[in-house]
Structure 1
């Protein structure tokens, strides 16, 4: 199927031609923390249908945003990973996260939530506090680490090998910090800073 286009000679329009479809940027958000299998993406994108996920992955691969590799016995499992062009969308997601934080309000009963979705807003707050370095973040059973260096902020699944800081939150506390209702410094006593 040919790609739909706004047909505007505008950089924002061209960018939206590639990542403006519903779910596309959320697929990129999921891949910011590292490679994912199809089943992982499907589990962490509640509400997406298998047909839409397959279509978005195909479109994003065609447009050079992600790659698909076959792994496992007889190369039976597909793993998706961002390309450099896809990873370059992280600042876009950070800006959307910053802008959208004020829109969160109270969590509705129908709202899905995954602890790793807080990596973007927490990453910004960690960068403000840490300057440069690495912090391991625990939100319940979910663990990821945030790296801050001159190239920007990144996050990956799992703990850092030798973190400069370690933070432990429950989900309500992580939510309060991410939304600004609670400062990072006041969030927990289980924080180790350099």
Structure 2
């Protein structure tokens, strides 16, 4: 006999915050959003970049998120037969929520625990704070020892993606994770990091010059 469908718990409160937590307050849900903000991901990719989540919980959360209108699932065109999950417009509206959480949580990154997993693109959210207000727009490629990610700044807002940018970036940042965390916490600007020899900026365009100037 198949198991009964999971019943979503609700706070049963006529409150915007409570309704939001009804949709995204379960453990792992917002971290799945974090992963999907980089773009469509296969189930195996999500599982690999969410160390500690069980396959059952991940599958359950993805179903819940689809039911809440936060994600969709689609099949990739031939020759691939894989399905990918991606955020809907409603799901992408959670970016400012994740950014606020990252800003609030950045001070807790002062020390990395011995069992802490790490992925390069996890540094994108706190780094967005340090790249805001530059007065220039474009794509910034970020190179850490842990890997690469890219960030789009200016224009209609900010977004980020895992790995190298699909187009030639307007500027490249090379730095270590500790420096990236310092920029994300607001303890160091990119320009200060450049002057201290902790950050290397490559590029000669407006965005690269803005990064050097701070």
TM-score normalised over the length of structure 1: 0.90
- Cα distance, 1:105–1:189 mapped onto 2, change above 3 Å: closer
Alignment check: 8 A CA contact 2:139 2:171 kept: yes
CA shift digits 1:94-123 (9 cap, x unpaired): 000001112223111121111110011112
Counterpart among 108, 121, 131 of residue 116 in structure 1: 121
Mark the structure with the bigger radius of gyration: 2
* Counterpart in the other structure of 1:143: 148
Deviation at 1:182, TM superposition (A): 4.2
* Counterpart in the other structure of 1:99: 104
Q: Secondary structure at the match of 2:179?
A: helix
Compute the RMSD of aligned alpha carbons.
2.1
More strand by share: 1
Deviation at 1:73, TM superposition (A): 5.6
Q: Secondary structure at the match of 2:63?
A: helix
Counterpart among 45, 64, 67 of residue 62 in structure 1: 67
Q: Secondary structure at the match of 1:102?
A: helix
TM-score normalised over the length of structure 2: 0.82
Q: Secondary structure at the match of 1:69?
A: strand
- Cα distance, 1:164–1:72 mapped onto 2, change above 3 Å: closer
Is 1:46–2:51 an aligned residue pair? yes
Alignment check: 8 A CA contact 1:137 1:143 kept: yes
Consecutive unaligned residues of structure 1, counting only runs of 5 or more, are none
Identify which range, 104-113 or 48-57, moves more after superposition. 104-113
Distance 1:159 1:103 in 2: 29
Q: Secondary structure at the match of 1:145?
A: strand
* Counterpart in the other structure of 2:183: 177
Consecutive unaligned residues of structure 2, counting only runs of 5 or more, are 1-5, 210-214
Distance 2:115 2:66 in 1: 31
CA shift digits 1:56-98 (9 cap, x unpaired): 1111011110111123668742201111000000000000000
